[in-house]
Amino acid sequence: MKRAVVMPFAKSALVGIATAALALSGAACRRPAPKKDKPLPQAPPTASTEPLATPSAEPDEDGAPAGSAAPAGTAAPAGSGALAGASGGGGNTKKRKPRTGARFLIDGPEQPIAIGGAATVYSKGVIWRLSGNAAQVTLFGPDGPAHGPSEPERARKWPRGRVAVAEDASGVMHTYWIEGSGLVRSALDAEGKLGAPEVVANDAVPGTSPSALRTGGRDAVAYLAAPNARNAERHGRLWVEGGGVLDLSPEGSGATSISLVPVGEGQVIAMWLDARSAMTPVHARRFEIREKTTALAADDVVFVGGPPEGYPELVGARAGNSAAGLLPLSTDKGFALHDILVDWNGKAKIKTLDYPNGMDTAPVAAAPACGETIVVYARPEAKEPGSPQVLEIATLGGSGAIEAQEVAAYPGQVLELHAAAADANTVWVVYTAGTKSFAMRLGCGGKVTAPATPKGK
């Protein structure tokens, strides 16, 4: 187990396997209130000068979305040992047999691995956002992730915006984050070291989280842009490596949360939420990254929900050759996790999973592994107000249905949640409960599962 050391951004040297510094915003951002209602914008007849290609009939070689999995052997197999503790040089190295649930091996949580706060899981480790101009990277080891930041101040105040990671099976990795109004990019190597940052766009909304992926040998990053002369709302934009910045939101349309989902080689579906005071529309836009251009389809409003509770976030995940937008939201009958499934032809299906009660902060995460899409979410344990939360595992069915599998943990209340695949048979989950962060490893129920082959249409 290796310990990570935090360095101020001002120092030029990058020392230590799991150490990095980023020029990040130090202040915890406040999310703005939902906007006043406006009529939904009508999509133009076409938003593309070139037609999109037909759907990909085959998944990527490893069966997982591009940018979601590392080459084989980059993480320990599920159930190889206990997770590291939050203090001490090597953490808890006591071996134990992981729990076997109805569908998955569940290794951890045992002890906290960091003081609570925003974190991003990627194929090789965890990137922790810190207050001030710094971040910390810890890598996965045979006994779980190395422990992260332990400063008590982190539990009281931390930046809400996450770092996004774009990676593919070749081992190329870049990080993206918002510093002030800048969309900043930095190379990330296999040892957890970050290169010099560069600003690739200057119109981002401070304190927000970008969404990044790598497909077709290039990075694509969606982010929330500040109002400008063309659009008076904060809106979604797309930066493509070697292709500049493109508009995702049509004129007059806003965005409050955005996610990119790869659905084939070079084929991506962008989904974003436009939370308003009395309704919650969700937009989707398909695009294709080509050698010299990016072809965009028209903007589609694929779902309109009721009034949002708090500040909901849309989480995107790949489900076969479709994009699943996961959104916890109130319904006519109560509260539910929505799966807004959009295929490459732009057709949408909506499925829901009811919660026993409503939640102001309802975190959810998803990642592909074990030949399917695994969803982890916090929900109330019972219908009584103030009921403690459980962390539950579900899978996405082919029709878009959210199929609950088993309860993985009883954290009380979850404030932050993120997940990513380390390989085709392993998902790492990091969440904050109270003032501590915990890690959990999900495996394929003791049997290595070959990736499923989605069928294109």
Average pLDDT of 57-70? Answer: 35
Residue 137 sits in which domain range?
Answer: 19-24+46-420+431-443
Q: Give me the pLDDT at residue 371, please.
A: 92
Average pLDDT of 213-242? Answer: 95
**Residue listed under structure tokens 């790492």:** 428
Task: Give the span between the Cα atoms of 444 and 424, in whole angstroms.
Answer: 9
For the stretch 418-433, pLDDT in tens is 999 999 999 999 999 9
Contacts of 44 (CB under 8 A, 6+ apart): 250, 298, 299
Q: Give me the pLDDT at residue 171, please.
A: 92
For the stretch 147-196, pLDDT in tens is 999 988 787 777 778 999 999 989 999 999 999 999 999 999 999 998 99
CA 307 to chain centre: 24
Q: Give me the pLDDT at residue 133, please.
A: 59
For the stretch 250-296, pLDDT in tens is 988 899 999 999 999 999 999 999 988 788 999 999 999 998 899 99
Pairing of the two strands 426-433 and 164-167: unpaired
Asked whether residue 360 is assigned to any structural domain, the reply reads yes
Asked whether residue 344 is assigned to any structural domain, the reply reads yes
Instruction: Determine what percent of the chain is predicted with pLDDT higher than 70.
Output: 74
Q: Give me the pLDDT at residue 316, please.
A: 97
Which CATH number fits the domain that encloses residue 184?
Answer: 2.120.10
Stated pTM of the model: 0.80
* Top-confidence residue, 173 or 32: 173
Q: Give me the pLDDT at residue 101, please.
A: 59
Asked whether residue 453 is assigned to any structural domain, the reply reads no
Amino acid at 109: P
Q: Give me the pLDDT at residue 153, please.
A: 79
Q: Give me the pLDDT at residue 51, please.
A: 56
Asked whether residue 170 is assigned to any structural domain, the reply reads yes
Asked whether residue 41 is assigned to any structural domain, the reply reads no
Contacts of 92 (CB under 8 A, 6+ apart): 82, 83, 84, 85, 110, 111, 143
Task: Give the span between the Cα atoms of 428 and 313, in whole angstroms.
Answer: 20
Give per-residue burial for 3-16: e unless 16+ CB within 10 Å, then b: bbebbebeeeebeb
Q: Counting beta carbons within 10 angstroms of the beta carbon of residue 63, is it exposed (0 to 12), middle (13 to 18) or buried (19 or more)?
A: buried
For the stretch 287-345, pLDDT in tens is 999 988 999 999 999 999 988 777 889 999 999 999 999 999 999 889 999 999 999 99
Asked whether residue 10 is assigned to any structural domain, the reply reads no
Asked whether residue 2 is assigned to any structural domain, the reply reads no
DSSP secondary structure, 235-281, as one string: EEEEEETTTEEEE-SPTT---SEEEEEEEETTEEEEEEE--BSS-EE
Q: Give me the pLDDT at residue 363, please.
A: 95
> 139 with 146: CB under 8 angstroms?
yes
* Top-confidence residue, 16 or 82: 16
Which has the closest alpha carbon to 330: 295, 354, 351, 314? 354
Asked whether residue 359 is assigned to any structural domain, the reply reads yes
Work out how many domains the chain is built from and give that number: 1
* Top-confidence residue, 228 or 134: 228
pLDDT band at 52 (very low <50, low <70, confident <90, very high): low
pLDDT above 60 (res 38): no
Mean pLDDT of the chain: 79
Helix (H) or strand (E) holding 426: strand 426-433
